[in-house]
Structure 1
């Protein structure tokens, strides 16, 4: 009994690494130029040239049905209206434009998910849209967000899709862009950590920038 009393209990999650899930892109109804058709991706950033091009996000959700829970974190609220047949998507509205608040919410995943969603594997996370958060970033905020997303992927094996708007959205908000390697206001530090960067040219066509 003394031996048992001195034993330590460690969670299995400390030793078991889940298989990394990935997205098969492009989803049905879309084409990608400068990229390999139907290749797999685990960390994707999508730059939306025009708000009318956001259909690709909804089509990714449709494609993901039946494979686990997908968490959509939105700071706008109307980008991805729920469907009556959609039982695998959990939507959370972050009522803040501070990237620090977004990061704080993601750190608590999946404890903040509804009970029914916790019984499903966390297949993917979609964060839309980082352009609004860009307007109120503190020092080191991007690095903290990146590290949080990395930890979620290591722990749950989920894919991650983040979304931002193009240069037109940023300049309309009065921002001066330091670089245009990617047509968005997000820093290169963040974009360089993504496996894939897509730019929507039309409602059904994307260009692969990375």
Structure 2
């Protein structure tokens, strides 16, 4: 896990009110240690990591179940949060693992909006930038122009409130905020 991801999530949790929890959906299997270390009496981290998450449809189904039957959905987590705590934030890492069409991401965004509306929670998805796809010394780089440096569908990315681009292991910068681009 990079220093910047850890730092952003630490800050997210530190700023949450007591009696809340973060749902960490870990597709890349790198957050388990963090989740166990960061649960306290006042705040908690529910940790979801499953081989089923390797399928985009399973992620969609889990999130839909979280909306319809939160107790059942949270019981599937490898580390649960106290049910009396309020869901304050959802972190999905690594959304770049999935390669699907725009319609699939539209469905994901619709479900995330539904969860935000129901729980009042924030949502953070983490994905790779073009530097990951372009290979060592940009050997796989293409001339295609991207508004935002990622291969995630722009219709999905431009619905985010904010997009950060990692500069190195410890710093990132804002490359997009909603309504900042045409």
TM-score (norm 2): 0.74
Query: Which one has a larger percent helix, Structure 1 or Structure 2?
Result: 2
CA contact (8 A) 2:21 2:81 kept: no
List gaps (5 residues or longer) in structure 1. 1-49
Q: Do residues 113 (structure 1) and 65 (structure 2) align? A: no
Kindly provide the CA deviation profile for residues 44-97 of structure 1, in whole angstroms up to 9, marking residues without a partner as x.
xxxxxx955432344235424635011000112123523445140001014233
Gap change, CA 1:99 and 1:70, over 3 Å in 2: same
Gap change, CA 1:102 and 1:60, over 3 Å in 2: farther
Gap change, CA 1:94 and 1:61, over 3 Å in 2: farther
Q: Secondary structure at the match of 1:113?
A: helix
Residue equivalent to 2:96:
131
Aligned ranges 1:42-121 → 2 under 5 Å: 51=2, 53-64=4-15, 66-81=18-33, 82-87=35-40, 88-95=44-51, 96-109=53-66, 110-111=70-71, 112-114=73-75, 117-121=82-86
Q: Secondary structure at the match of 1:199?
A: strand
Q: Do residues 204 (structure 1) and 170 (structure 2) align? A: yes
Over the residues paired in the alignment, what is the CA RMSD in angstroms? 2.7
Residue equivalent to 2:154:
188
Q: Return the alpha-carbon distance in structure 1 between the equivalents of residues 175 and 102 of structure 2.
A: 27
Q: Return the alpha-carbon distance in structure 1 between the equivalents of residues 106 and 141 of structure 2.
A: 20
Q: Return the alpha-carbon distance in structure 1 between the equivalents of residues 109 and 143 of structure 2.
A: 21
Larger radius of gyration: 1
List gaps (5 residues or longer) in structure 2. 177-182
Kindly provide the CA deviation profile for residues 110-136 of structure 1, in whole angstroms up to 9, marking residues without a partner as x.
2311475321111010000111013xx
The one of 104, 117, 121 equivalent to 1:158 is 121
CA contact (8 A) 1:56 1:203 kept: no
Kindly provide the CA deviation profile for residues 169-190 of structure 1, in whole angstroms up to 9, marking residues without a partner as x.
2345x89795421111111101
Q: Extract structure 1 runs of 4+ deviating beyond 6 A.
A: 174-177
Q: Return the alpha-carbon distance in structure 2 between the equivalents of residues 61 and 208 of structure 1.
A: 16
TM-score (norm 1): 0.65
Kindly provide the CA deviation profile for residues 152-208 of structure 1, in whole angstroms up to 9, marking residues without a partner as x.
001110000110011132345x89795421111111101111111111213332211
